[in-house]
Structure 1
Amino acid sequence: MNLTDSVTLKQLRTLCAIRDAGSLAGAATRLNLTAPAVHTQLRKLEEQAGCLLVVRGGGAAARLTMEGVRLCEAQERIDAILAKVEAEIATLRDGHTGRVCLGVVSTGKYFAPGLVALVRRAHPGLDVVLKVGNRDEIVLLLQQGVVDLVIMGRPPRQPLVTAYTIGDHPHVMIAQPGHPLVGRRAEITAHDILSETIISREQGSGTRILMTRYLDRIGEGEPYSTIEMDSNETIKQAVMAGLGIALISQHTVIEELRAGRLARIDFGDLPILRHWFVLHDAAIEPSGAVKTVLDFVRDQHGAFLPQL
């Protein structure tokens, strides 16, 4: 006997209908089947079980053997499990439960945990996992399908993505408080900026790309000296120590600017205003939990972003 490979839900439900109706004819009426069809289902089930499941009494009456009772009990447990799974599938489909992997470029780590907290308060059934890395690392995770959604600045060219603007992303030039360039907007020249040591993020960073383009534009090819750091925190400490100046996301230095541990250099068209985007692979239409998180982030209109 190997019921797991052969028995069907239809056969088990037929057996339970016989139990409930007290006869094969009554079961046929309940199931909207013919009497021969009920006989066939019962005969196949008894062959598979290798024992008698129903005892015919006087007239048309029928009752289940102990083996038949056990199979009906199993059917009831199966129905309960399927009902539970059906409800779980509905919540997954409707986006009330599920797991979402959110990729965030390292500059966004200053607000991403707060955003995740907002999502979980609004949708406690969702599990949002953060993956933080520089631009190149996050784009690779998106290409590999590791992350469902990404928050970053300039969207990548590859893979093709669907991107939505979620808020402003200003970049500022920072220096040690008391630095000679602080408070001298009208007097500062591009040469003054490029004569300073520039503290820079590593290759592959979106901030590094923006800094390089900006300095090349204002300097028209004038060389400048850089010191490379692999995190915004290290850059901030280096600038506070007087090692140089840096172009950095304002969202990473809000608290230091408020407390006076860092100061802005006002020059030309600074701050540079960019935007934050939430995006996903264009080939994958968000659904379920992913769509719930995407819609939630978009509906915030950048309210979770730090403000100076």
Structure 2
Amino acid sequence: MRMNALTLKQLRALDAVARSGSLTAAGEILGLTTPAIHTQIKGLEDALQVRLTQRAADGGGSELTEAGQALREAALRIEEILSQAEANLEAIRRGQVGRLTVGVVSTGKYFAPRLVKMLQERHPEVEIALKVGNRTATIEGLERDAFDMVIMGRPPRRPEVIAAPLGPHPHGLVAPPGHPLIGHEAEIEALFAETFIAREQGSGTRILMTRWLDRIGEGRTYDALEMDSNETIKQAVMAGLGIAFLSLHTVTEELASGRLVALRAPGLPVERHWFLVRPEHARVRDVTLRIWDDILGLEGRYLPKVPGD
């Protein structure tokens, strides 16, 4: 294999084929002709002596082989590194020491901007970028070294990470005002007769909700209505479509104003912790360690206060 013969143009052509599903569509993405895309892919295959694309399973278009998928993963990591380098260079050009990228799972977006503001006031020489995604997307970002550090719930097993606790993270059930289960601890049968408005598969909140219901329900089935954001779920609960298991840090304003009410039920609240995480094997810059230590030194002062605590 002649890895030193690969070019960014070739790797971007491979990624475009993976994203679009055909050489022609890949050419449209990159502003190239179909023969030009074919030439780029052929150059990769000649250098690596392995087949990278094949006819799609449905008979139309192209898809990556197993080797092609492995090479694309490497290409995505390269693009992440180049993007971070570009941002760092731009920050340095403006007189800063560099740029720090902080990933946060969706539930953390309710307090992460407050944390970033505190860090900016303490470290004006550092540009801090915030990227929000669900748990699956955040872990994928960790694997690609897309983040300097991440704020999340339970740290992943893979990739291997260094993790430090930031503070408590309570979860509970919320319902609209006037719901019949308000004011007393809900019985199991009445609870499982409700419709649960749930986050999408892959969400940390969805995983925690499923485990809690399985534990208290001992195998009982329940109806779930899936929605892909906490904001949509809150609006659905207030509209009377069901009840929801959510991080209580996402509903502090609604609980304080009475637009939502926390329900009492067995095993609630489910107490977890927020963690600050960074890849274990990544090269760590001095600025990353400085901000890491500063976040830990804040001792969770940016975390929301849940009404009634």
Greater relative CO, 1 or 2 (CA 8 Å, sep 6+): 1
1:104-143 to 2 correspondence within 5 Å? 104-143=104-143
What number of residue pairs does the alignment pair up? 214
Q: Is the 8 A contact 2:101 2:131 kept in 1?
A: yes
* Aligned residues with identical type, % of pairs: 52
SS at match of 2:200: coil
Aligned to 1:38: none
Looking at structure 1, the residues matched to 299 and 190 of structure 2 have their Cα atoms a distance apart, in angstroms, of 37
Equivalent residue in structure 2 for 1:294, among 282, 292, 295: 292
- Give the structure with higher Rg (CA): 1
Q: Deviations over 1:63-122 (max 9, x none)?
A: xxxxxxxxxxxxxxxxxxxxxxxxxxxxx9xxx822110000000000011100000000
Q: Is the 8 A contact 2:199 2:229 kept in 1?
A: yes
Equivalent residue in structure 2 for 1:274, among 272, 275, 290: 272
Q: TM-score, normalised by structure 1?
A: 0.68
Deviation at 1:285, TM superposition (A): 5.3
Partner AA of 2:178 in structure 1:
G
Aligned to 1:154: 154
1:157-306 to 2 correspondence within 5 Å? 157-185=157-185, 188-284=186-282, 286-306=284-304
Looking at structure 2, the residues matched to 240 and 293 of structure 1 have their Cα atoms a distance apart, in angstroms, of 39
Deviation at 1:301, TM superposition (A): 1.0
Q: Deviations over 1:99-147 (max 9, x none)?
A: 1100000000000111000000000000111110000000000100111
- Displaced runs of 4 or more, over 4 A: none
Deviation at 1:284, TM superposition (A): 2.5
Looking at structure 2, the residues matched to 168 and 300 of structure 1 have their Cα atoms a distance apart, in angstroms, of 14
Looking at structure 1, the residues matched to 264 and 230 of structure 2 have their Cα atoms a distance apart, in angstroms, of 20
Q: Deviations over 1:133-184 (max 9, x none)?
A: 0000000001001111000000001001110000000001000111000111
SS at match of 2:202: coil
CA RMSD of aligned residues (A): 1.6
Deviation at 1:222, TM superposition (A): 0.5
Unpaired runs of at least 5, structure 2: 1-91
Q: Is the 8 A contact 2:160 2:280 kept in 1?
A: yes
Aligned to 2:98: 98
SS at match of 1:121: helix
Q: Is the 8 A contact 2:197 2:233 kept in 1?
A: yes
Q: Is the 8 A contact 2:176 2:237 kept in 1?
A: yes
SS at match of 1:296: helix
Partner AA of 1:141 in structure 2:
G
SS at match of 1:104: strand
Aligned to 1:44: none
Q: Is the 8 A contact 2:111 2:303 kept in 1?
A: yes
Unpaired runs of at least 5, structure 1: 1-91
